[in-house]
Amino acid sequence: MQGPTGQNRPILGSLWMLGAIASFASMQISGRELSGDYDTLEIMLYRTIVGVAVMLPVALAFGGVANITTKRPLGHLIRNAVHFVGQYGWFYGVAHLTMADVTALNSIMPIFGVVLAVLFFGERPTIARLMVILCGFVGVLIVVRPGMVPIELATGVTILGALCYAVSVVMVKALTSTEPPFRIVFYMMAMQFVFALVLVGGDAAMPDPSEMPWIVVVAISGLTAHYCMARSVAIADASVVMPISFLSLPFMAVVGLIFYDEGLDPFTLAGGGLILAATYLNIIWSRRRA
């Protein structure tokens, strides 16, 4: 199925999704650095404040009020409410689980996303795509090894976040039929600022100046991640580009090893290799079909 704009460009869509993966990795690292001093809602509040402060002047300078004028406020509201829950689950996992574990649990998201894309956009669940999803899922199981990741609150919250995030990605694809990526990201930051401000009761601690660089990184990487993701699903099938996010798992496992001494065992290497192979085959098969 073609994207809302009549395009179906899997290679370019895949490159945009790789940009989203790199941005999410940056956001995960900065979120981990901040989690020792701030709770999840405070981190989400700070990132949205910086995000709105960066995007609003750009929007007004390049296009004026039209850049942030929408005829689909309800669509943005529902999408951002769902995404806010997903983002909370992800940041909560970052604060309480290892890099590899939270990324592995979040890797369930593309599986949810492909199912939703098939149900709501009529994207065909070809044998090749089903094989890619199956291989990615098996790769996650190899890394996590059922029973090794404790069944605790952080695990459940992270899985819930992955489900909500998959729903929000599919809703982004629907919004791109009329909304440009910049506007989608702007409303994400503006609405989630309100959500976070209400939930913290307007009583968030002032960030320490020494930690402002991490707050800026978590905000900017959040902007680029969601912009890249919106561009990706706008020009390619969601069931093609979403499995590429499986690449986050081996990458963040290495980050956890280098920066947080979290260990890298043969199971992580084997699962990561399978995920990489599945992602590569997904891109090649999608290019041939296109």
Residue-wise pLDDT tens digits, 142-177: 877 776 655 678 888 998 998 898 899 888 878 888
* DSSP calls for 97-164: S-HHHHHHHHTTHHHHHHHHHHHHH-----HHHHHHHHHHHHHHHHHH-TTSS--SHHHHHHHHHHHH
Q: Is residue 3 part of a domain?
A: no
- Is 70 exceeded by the pLDDT of residue 126? yes
Q: Is residue 5 part of a domain?
A: no
Q: Taking a C-beta distance cutoff of 8 angstroms, is the pair 131, 192 a contact?
A: no
For the stretch 196-239, pLDDT in tens is 999 998 777 788 888 999 999 999 998 898 889 888 888 887 76
Give the SS3 label for residue 96: helix
Domain count, the chain: 1
* DSSP calls for 212-273: HHHHHHHHHHHHHHHHHHHHHHHHS-HHHHGGGGGGHHHHHHHHHHHHH-----HHHHHHHH
Calpha distance 144→103 (Å, rounded): 10
Q: Is residue 1 part of a domain?
A: no
Report the phi/psi class of residue 208: left, alpha or beta, with left for phi > 0 and alpha for psi in -120 to 50: beta
Calpha distance 149→141 (Å, rounded): 10
Count other Cβ atoms within 10 Å, centred on residue 150: 10
Q: Is residue 77 part of a domain?
A: yes
Calpha distance 84→86 (Å, rounded): 5
CA distances (Å), origin 132, targets 39, 98, 110, 127, 243:
36, 25, 11, 9, 8
Q: Taking a C-beta distance cutoff of 8 angstroms, is the pair 173, 4 a contact?
A: yes
Q: Is residue 49 part of a domain?
A: yes
In this prediction, residue 7 has a pLDDT band, given cuts at 50, 70 and 90, of: low
In this prediction, residue 120 has a pLDDT band, given cuts at 50, 70 and 90, of: confident
Q: Is residue 290 part of a domain?
A: no
CA distances (Å), origin 155, targets 136, 144, 149, 242:
19, 12, 8, 22
The pLDDT value recorded for residue 1 is 41
For the stretch 42-99, pLDDT in tens is 999 999 999 999 999 988 888 788 888 998 999 999 999 999 999 999 999 998 888 8
Q: What is the pTM of this model?
A: 0.78
Residue-number span of the structural domain to which 131 is assigned: 10-285
Calpha distance 272→68 (Å, rounded): 40
Q: Is residue 2 part of a domain?
A: no
- Is 50 exceeded by the pLDDT of residue 262? yes
The pLDDT value recorded for residue 6 is 47
The pLDDT value recorded for residue 91 is 92
The pLDDT value recorded for residue 97 is 85
Calpha distance 108→163 (Å, rounded): 8
Q: Is residue 194 part of a domain?
A: yes
